[in-house]
Chain A
Amino acid sequence: MRTSPCLYTFLLLSVFSFSCKKSSFLNANPDQSLLVPGTLPDCQALLDDDRVINGFGNSGYPSLGETGSDDYTVSPEQYGAYSAIDQQAVIWARTIYTSGEVNDWDLPYRVVYTANVVLTALDNINPGDNQLTTWKNIRGSALFYRAFAFYQLAQIFAPTYDSSTAGTDWGLPLRLSADANEQLSRATVQQTYDRILQDLSNARTLLPKDTLGFPTRPSRAAVYGLLSRVYLSARDYHLSLLYADSCLQLQHALMNYDTISTTALFPFNRFNSEVIFSAAYFSSGPSATYKSYVDSFLLQSYQTDDLRKKLFFKFGNYFFGRYDQEGYNFSGIATDEMWLTRAECYARAGNTTDAMNDLNNLLQTRWAAGAFIPYTATDANDALQQILLERRKELLFRGTRWTDLRRLNKDTRTALALTRTVNNVAYTLPPGDPRYVYAIPDNVLSFNPGMPQNQR
């Protein structure tokens, strides 16, 4: 009899305790305006943030490559207005970071992180048949964006790919999860490239031939374009040719520059017909409008009837030929680049005819109507030299020059010693100099003791 009240109490407490399902109670979302990405629209929306993913707005892919390359000259006044990092990078200083954050590192890793968040979320979504295409498109996009960011980072912070040393050269920390507590270390250049190629190869199977709308989203053509770029940077000209060709099979249109207004300050529209994938690099230092002059030797290399001379350059030798109108430095993938890549690869394969056909096919759209006389080459090497010059002239301030310099320096025939005079002091950057690889930002190393630094 004495135990009955106790029993009663116990029962009552038990009922009270377990009457509501504890797990669901404590799993309630604390704030409905915050979403935990868990649906396909959530994932698509994260990838459609063009500030983060495509580098628009106050954002962007690395600009240090453009700052280090040879397409511009700078006056003392312009130089004085640069940020401390840009000032050091312009003169190829051994130490370029003063303090604080390095956008060239931080912003592409933000793309990597967002892509990882989406990939993690997609792992937990089991799409029905009617959603499978969407699921594949999103997954393919995320993989593409991650590969694009890793590729951009590798051009700045990892040595040029060289099949003989790629297995031992230090590449990038390959962040592949969304966990804030992930421990990171540098992979080799080989591993870095393998990861980029693996992601792109997966993306190729997931993304459709047709575009997914605006070119801020990737398509299969973008995947081929990036694959071609990656192999070109690795000097695998055979595969680069194949992928450039595949890309051009899907998208090959070129604008006729004769139809483009010369009165508009920035003549090229965003999402113009040549754009395969739209992205921007950080507008900083010499790549910002009015902050540098186009190299005068380069400027003189444009012939009178070359419309690029009028469309690209205004007020003397300022550059206005961005493929994304004002404000943003285009560093995405466009068909003109693919035509040039295929031409170069043909030339390197000894196929002079196809190489010159591709080059002329591009150039005839760049010249005033009726003024263009097709280029000819005596041999494949002559073709290559012409194509490389036209590549530089076409892809001016498009974020590709630095990578080209890095790979061309590997071959003594195309190697270039860069020189620049700033404030009456001459600086040089010889081919293959360790300063072609930027240092890992100091604060990254402080978070990752033991991570190897690039020696400059």
Chain B
Amino acid sequence: MNSHSPGKASLQPMLFSFFMLVTITVQSQNERINYPLQTAPLSHVFAVICYQIDYCPSSVEDVKSILETIVTLKLENITLKAFLDKYMPLYGMEYSIENRRIFLKKRKDGPLLPQDEMVQKKLPKVEGIVLNQQGKLLAGIEVHIKGGSGYTRTNQQGEFTLRDVERDAVLSLSGKDIGIVEVKINGRSQLIIHLRTFVQYLDDFNVTLLINNGYQRIHKDRVTGSIDFINHSLIDRSVAPNILDRIENISSGVLVNHGQASSGLLAGSILIRGLSTLSANANPLVILDNFPYDGDPNNINPNDIENASILKDAAATSIWGARAGNGVIVLTSKKGKTPYPQVTVNSSISFQPRPSVFNVHTISSQDYIDLEKDLYSRSFYAPAFNNTLNYIPVTPVVMLLHAADQGTISPEEASSQIEAMKKKDARNDIQKYLYRNSINQQHSIQLSGRLSRSDYYFSVGWDHNLANLSGVQYDRISLRAQNNYIVGRHFQFSAGMNYTEGINQNGNNPGYNYQSIRGNKRFYPYARLADAQGNPLPIYADYNPDYLQKTAALGFLDWTYSPLRDISAETNKIKTQDYLLNLGTQYKILPSLRLDLKYQFERQNTFGSDQHSDSSYYTRDLINSLTQVAPITNNLTYPIPLGAIADLSHQAIISHQGRAQLNYHKSWDTAHDLSVMGGYEIRSLVTTGNSSRQYGLGNPAAISPINDNNLYPAYITGSFNGIPFAPPPVNKKDDFISYFANGSYTYRNLYTFSASAREDEANLFGVKTNQKGVPLWSVGGAWQLSNENFFHSAWLPLFTLRASYGSSGNISRLATAYTTAIYTPGQVTGTPYTSASIQSPANDHLGWEVVKISSMGLDFATKNKTLTGTIEYYRKDATGLVAQTAADPTLGLIQNPGSHAAYYANTASMKVKGLEIELATRNLAGKFAWTTNYIFSYSSSRVAKFTIPVGAGNSYLKQNIINPVSGKPLYAIYSYKWMGLDPQTGDPLGSYNGKASKDWNSIYNNTTLDSMVYNGPSQPTVFGALRNNFTLSHFSLSFIISYKFGYYFRKPSLRYGELFNSWNGSGSYAQRWQRPGDERRTNVPSISYAVNSARDDFYSYSSILVDRADNIRLEDLRLGYETNKFHWGKFHCPRLSLYSYLSNLGLLWKANKNGIDPYYINVPKDGKRYSLGVSVTF
């Protein structure tokens, strides 16, 4: 208490301080006591009282031991008498006051720790009061005896009474904002229970918060591993319909990639502690309650989720074994808690204006038309006007130029039409017609409660999202029922059911990203999608309109494409139904031994339906492209029947998971606490899929199904094509059998040791490996230094050191122990034989990927929780990663001539290391409260070993190909050294053999990787967020600022080849080098009329176009009003919460100077999202 300065309130507001220590003190008033919430000996309380109001305790020998009792309490403005009357009996004392001296002595009839506890088996009566951290008495808290039948609720004074309680019983307390807290009675008949409501705190060290890892609930302070806990108020903070989107910027070590960083084969949308696999799935394992969730996480209604635990290190994840190498997200769903039926209604609506297409940096219409005129004069378009090839499409400007040349239109008319086109910007039409304002609605109703021997939870949710892209919408209905029953003294039974139906619907809307079927034309800069009246206009990007008059005359179907009309001509639906059924029983064999049996069935059906109506461009184009014209008669025959085309697909994922588990938990001599669990698990996952295609729908003359493998010459191009059919069926099976055990021992709340082991076996690799199996294990330790006598510090009441080491794993299906082959269609020599080729060789040495994780952490909290935090350092050592492995060519494993002989084997390794810091500061407490949460993550992952020799430099340039290089991150950006522009010609200069060079062919093809510039990783290495919360009475305001540093991106570039041939290109054309001297102001190469792809490639992948992607952004802002008692006329409810939520608020800072938001590189930029929501509980 030395730091207290009585008589003076000290308030030190420090703006934007992460480490602010603000000390709140009490005002000494006339005989009123204030005591900040803390854990200290009772004597300390009296010392404070003595100091504050000058009533000092008289030393009395027989209460000395009582005064040494460690208590946790908070006193706020109460009189000395009130304090003594209330608390002294509870501590087994009575008092008298004389001359400002407090005389204490033992109560005769209320011993604190009854000496006769061994005599009486049961306590006839247990009384207690429940307070929160503000010292407020908590009413309506449910108290029940764990595993027993006793149950009550606290009254308005926060008091409760239970009768006939076992001496070693554990009370389970639950209620709003406290989660579930367990308190051991330890023979006491009177209890003061201090709970912390965790509305505003990520962590809570005072209560024994229970963390669910999917197998068991672990006391937070006995956790030796790295687990982040996200409670439901944080989950409810945002309005995203996907639960996984709601944990972004909340937990350290969790990286959600955006922009270029999210592209790539395995980039993963969510990464926990970096990448540690090369070819397996990089996504974390998602657990819903007890079992891995095999369906799409989008199926999970976030409103049904109570909390989430993110398991990050080996001690936390190894219990999940071989699938946990990427981290584990455990979602715990809500259960009935209140002793009366409670109905909660949530409703939110979000609005997001149409995205800005102008974020796509394209050449202006003026520039492009001038360029087209230039190209026209250079006969660039001559092939399109060649007689035999005149179906080749050209833009309207080129058509006008040609028509003027041919004299079919006067030069003046052509010129005036062209001038008019210069004023058009296609992006206006694209934004107006292809995009729209997005509106998302989310509604849910939950009914929950508890009866004497059971609890229940039912919910219904409905989501209705209209996306920004016109024609795209998503609807989701979710139903959930969960019931738990207590049967007899030893038996508990639970049953639950989930049903989700999601429907994704979209038309044929290409958005800004349109590319024609043939030739990859894009919208030219002056394209118009609709006329002045809004009627759709065609775009001729596949065929020349003049030519189409000829096909129309022959009787072909209309062959024009109008983007707007086509949006509704196709209906693509993906319906996902997910059924989940779970059953569980708990049987108490002995007071300390429990058997759990659990079973879960899940079936996810995904029905795809692509209806290409007969008016859709897809259908018309496909039918036309195979239509045969008879010689002389010009009669048409249709290999593909007229009528609509429907693609139907059905994919089913069926999983059965079962688990038998024994739990043993015992505490003795108040010093020892042992918890052991072990069990057996079996899991089977079958994925089947099949697709079909129907032709000629709605055409009675069509013969269906058609069975025609002939090739037909296309009328226009003469190239031969077959009739496309549906892909072959899929049938996959994953079987797993696992054995696991986990134990932890805690001594005097000082030392905790934990160990876990698990063996996983699967059908992945064939018999030999299965027989071996891979044991995965972990050990961990925690030392609660703050509980040591020698450490005891008032300003640092919590200080824990943790360390863990162990292994978890990953699975990859790319390799097999057996030789596998696949049937391949067709023979080169034309023989009618069926052929098969070997897909992967037999490899007896194949095994699991193993990720060894070591982690060290420290948790602390200063006095009054002014500053709490966790600092962790970890290393992940991933070995035996399944990767392409160089092989002796003599083995015959070569796939393609000239390529490296390779096969997939456990030969690569990666190393990841990182640092994570989470801090929470209470900057201001009281009526106006302000807290800040700060999360920081550093994660660096490097490929440690990869056996394929380093290839040519240019194979490391493409964004979506992984090309691992030892010592470099898996996703890295390399570029060619930039030597500026040639001052005479404006040609880009690179470096070849150490000299400035224009030999782009050689530079692009022959530069070795070590001669290239390594710019850095393309995924963030330093990232985190800052969250501030302000509360004033019923109002709260919070916002998140996020940051991502230490990564790079490639800026969009001007490629002349693309610009000329695909009708659109980068706006940096305007900055191109045009005359000597320009090289001082620009880096954009001069125009090269001879299309030179090596020149374009060199420039696109040059170092001048790589920039830092670092950015800081304001993620969201939430303003809320919440009250626990709300009356409005006759309407009243126990809880009302209103909020507005703004997200995607944009950049605060970025490293690049080109105005590029690294989240939206040359794509339409999403607008800010505005949401309003209400939650009412009856």
Contact = CB atoms under 8 A, between A and B. Distances in A.
B838 A46 contact: yes
A444 interface: yes
Given A29-B733, A117-B838, A101 B889 contact: yes
Contacts of B893: 110, 113, 180
A42 interface: yes
Interface in A257-282: 270-271, 278, 282
Interface in B724-778: 728-735, 737, 761-764, 766-767, 770
A121 B843 CA distance: 15
Size category, A interface: 35 or more
A101 B895 CA distance: 12
A32 interface: yes
A113 B838 contact: yes
B117 interface: no
B590 interface: yes
Contact of B835 (A16, A29, A45, A184): A45
Nearest to A445: B888
A4 to B, nearest CB: 9
Interface string B828-857: 111101111111011111000000000000
Nearest to B730: A33
Contact of A179 (B729, B844, B899): B844
A29 B733 CA distance: 7
B125 interface: no
B682 A59 contact: no
Contact of B735 (A25, A105, A114): A25
A371 interface: no
A11 to B, nearest CB: 11
A73 interface: no
A34 B822 contact: yes
Residue from B843, B894, B896, B903 whose CB has the most chain A CB atoms within 10 Å: B894
A117 B821 CA distance: 10
B889 A180 contact: no
Interface string B783-822: 0000000000000000000000000000001001011111
A230 B731 CA distance: 47
Contacts of B761: 26
A12 B660 contact: yes
Given A41-B834, A50-B828, A54-B829, A9 B662 contact: yes
Contacts of B729: 32
Contact of A32 (B731, B816, B834): B731
Contact of B821 (A25, A42, A109): A42
A451 to B, nearest CB: 9
B311 interface: no
B833 A59 contact: no
A48 B834 CA distance: 7
Nearest to A34: B820
Contacts of B901: 101, 106
B597 interface: yes
A117 B819 contact: yes
Contact of A28 (B735, B843, B844, B845): B735
A105 B836 CA distance: 22
B622 to A, nearest CB: 26
Interface in B868-905: 886-894, 896-901, 903, 905
Given A27-B767, A45-B834, A101-B899, A178 B819 contact: yes
A40 B644 CA distance: 42
B658 interface: yes
A16 B598 CA distance: 11
Nearest to A107: B897
A106 B829 contact: no
A35 B731 contact: no
B690 to A, nearest CB: 11
Given A30-B733, A45-B833, A213-B831, A9 B589 contact: yes
A50 B835 contact: yes
B37 to A, nearest CB: 44
Contacts of A25: 682, 684, 735, 737, 763
Given A6-B589, A46-B837, A178-B819, A56 B733 contact: no
A443 B893 CA distance: 14
A297 interface: no
B892 A112 contact: yes
A426 interface: no
A154 interface: no
Contacts of B845: 181
Contacts of A182: 891
Nearest to B905: A180
Given A26-B770, A28-B733, A175 B891 contact: yes
B824 interface: yes
B445 to A, nearest CB: 38
A22 B827 CA distance: 41
A5 B888 contact: no
A110 B894 contact: yes
A107 B836 contact: no
A414 interface: no
B827 A180 contact: no
Interface string B67-99: 000000000000000000000000000000000
B680 interface: yes
Interface in A58-77: 58-60
Contacts of B836: 35, 37, 42, 45-46, 48-49
Given A33-B728, A444-B889, A107 B894 contact: yes
Contacts of B816: 30, 34, 36
A35 B890 contact: no
B725 to A, nearest CB: 16
Contact of A49 (B763, B835, B891): B835
A42 B823 CA distance: 9
Residue from A60, A106, A111 whose CB has the most chain B CB atoms within 10 Å: A106
Contacts of A9: 587, 589, 595, 662
Contacts of A48: 827, 831, 833-836
B900 A101 contact: yes
Contacts of B762: 26
A57 interface: yes
A173 B770 CA distance: 32
A441 to B, nearest CB: 7
Contact of A444 (B730, B734, B890): B890
A22 B735 CA distance: 10
26 contacts: A9-B662, A12-B660, A25-B763, A26-B735, A26-B761, A26-B762, A28-B735, A30-B763, A31-B732, A41-B834, A46-B837, A58-B897, A101-B894, A101-B898, A101-B901, A105-B889, A106-B894, A109-B894, A113-B893, A114-B838, A121-B819, A180-B843, A180-B891, A180-B893, A213-B831, A214-B829
Interface of A: 5-6, 8-9, 12-13, 16-17, 20, 22, 25-37, 41-42, 44-46, 48-52, 54, 56-60, 100-103, 105-107, 109-114, 116-117, 120-121, 173, 175, 178-182, 184, 213-214, 216, 270-271, 278, 282, 441, 443-444, 447-448
Given A30-B816, A110-B894, 5 more contacts: A33-B822, A101-B898, A106-B901, A175-B891, A216-B829
Interface of B: 587, 589-590, 595, 597, 658, 660, 662, 680, 682, 684, 728-735, 737, 761-764, 766-767, 770, 813, 816, 818-824, 827-831, 833-839, 841-845, 886-894, 896-901, 903, 905
